[in-house]
Amino acid sequence: MKKSQYTFNSVLLVFLSALWLPPIQAKTQDNGIENLRQTSKAFASVARSVSPSVVFIQVESNGSTTRRFQFPFDDNDFFGNDLFERFFGERFRGFSAPNAPQKQRKVVGQGSGFVFLLKDGLLSDKSYILTNNHVVQNAESIKVILQDKREFTAKVVGTDPQSDVAVLEINDSKLPALNLGDSSALEVGEWVIAIGNPFGLSHTLTVGVVSATGRTSLGINDYEDFIQTDAAINPGNSGGPLVNLDGQVVGMNTAIFSRSGGYMGIGFAIPINLAKSIGDQLMNNGEVRRGHLGVVVQELSADLADSFDLQQNEGILISQVMENSPAAKAELHQGDVIISYQQKPVTTVGGFRNLVALSPPNSQQKLTVLRDGKRLNLTVTIGKLDKDSQLAQTPEQPSEELGLTVQTITSNLAQQYNVKQGRGVLVTSIKPDSVAAMAGIDAGTVILQVDREAINSAQGFTRALDKSSKDKSVLLLLLKNNVQRYLVLNWS
């Protein structure tokens, strides 16, 4: 081929390429926009199918209050003092002067819920609604408002404060029950949609992804296995559904992590598998019958794992076996490491607590433990958890430097010490003449922060304190008798 012809062909090829590139780029851009349109339509389709079964819940109860200021919606607060405090913190409890007279007032709370079951009856048809216990606790009257503006007086079928689940009943069956998905199949990164009534704004939809699953030891509930999402959840969303792109409910919106009271990118939802299991028990038994094993267990720290010649994420450690308990009868021993239960891997205390709690009393369950380097398969007959039983608790966390012991605030401890569950850790004992004792800290004090880091579990307290061990100085934010104060402790 002649050089001139070769040059001409090369120029022609470049020219033709230049002609074709813009259409290819334009087509790619059009495809991207079309994909966004399809995603947008998927969100709209889910909203249309799910919203009619999402309800707005208004609650009235009598409450005693001592306050120096009032919310803008007083004298019947639109959101309710309890809900403000749950989401916004102690400062919204209502400041009061010492010995101020208490005033009886109507407390109005609000939240969300969704229809999960319908029942046909001879005299009337009924719809059953899942919501959070904290939305309806201590309610004297409950009003349910539908998307079509119809209103119903709701009856409480049952509540479970330990898991924060409640079931309501209304006399109506025209609403479709939402399809329930399988929360155990949920993966991090999946699209999810939160629907509810934040700040009383009916049927608001927010979109995000699953940020994490299996969140435990947050101190929000006694039994935790939260889905974490960045879909915006705000006060009033509590009890509303978290759904996937197929319109299936995968969780029930419950709480947010926030330093300001508003959305900060982290919300928590109860997995629907857990909420449905609790709801079914409330409907069938009027109560939740939880399994009881009778052990105290703890996470495997790096040091503990090394001493037991294990991987840190391999199992949980039995630190105590209760006498005459199902665990003792199954010959579980102190120092055993539980690595599987019901043929499911065990990696966290919270996850194990949930598995045991959901096991039917008197059922036989298989578990695998490591004992002296040997793998043992055991069978245990699960007992029934009662008020005097201990399930699978995290032991108290002592601090030798400070001379105090703290514990995660459970519902029982919250009631015993009249403190708030889910925020801080409770000081349960003080050594005489210790650094903490000399600083005036006593049992019943709540530690909210360690070096300005918010904590809500005993393990979190220990981890935060370890960071201060080199400086041998720590800044604590304490709460006692509704008064917060900062305190610096030094040790040598």
pLDDT by residue (tens digit) across 289-319? 889 898 888 777 776 777 777 766 678 888 7
Q: Which class in CATH covers the domain with range 1-95+104-288?
A: mainly beta
Q: Provide the CATH number for the domain formed by 291-384 in this structure.
A: 2.30.42.10
- Which part of the chain is CATH 2.30.42.10? 291-384, 396-490
Give yes or no for a contact between 215 and 228, defined as CB atoms under 8 angstroms apart. yes
- Regions of the chain with pLDDT less than 50: 12, 16, 64-100, 390-392
Q: What is the pLDDT of residue 63?
A: 55
Q: CA 487, CA 402: separation in Å to the nearest integer? A: 12
Strand 392-393 to 295-298 pairing: parallel
Note the pLDDT of residue 251.
93
Place of tokens 């096991």: 359
Q: What are the pLDDT digits (tens) for 145-160?
A: 988 888 899 999 999 9
Q: Where in the chain is the domain with CATH 2.40.10.120?
A: 1-95+104-288
Q: Terminal CA-to-CA distance of the chain, rounded, Å?
A: 90
Active site residue ranges: 134, 164, 238
| CATH match of 396-490 with 3.40.50.12780 | no
pLDDT on residue 367? 93
Report the pLDDT value the prediction gives residue 350, as an integer from 0 to 100. 80
pLDDT of residue 95: 39
- Core vs surface per residue 240-272: b (16+ CB within 10 A) or e: bbbbbeebbbbbbbbbbbbeebebeebbbbbbb
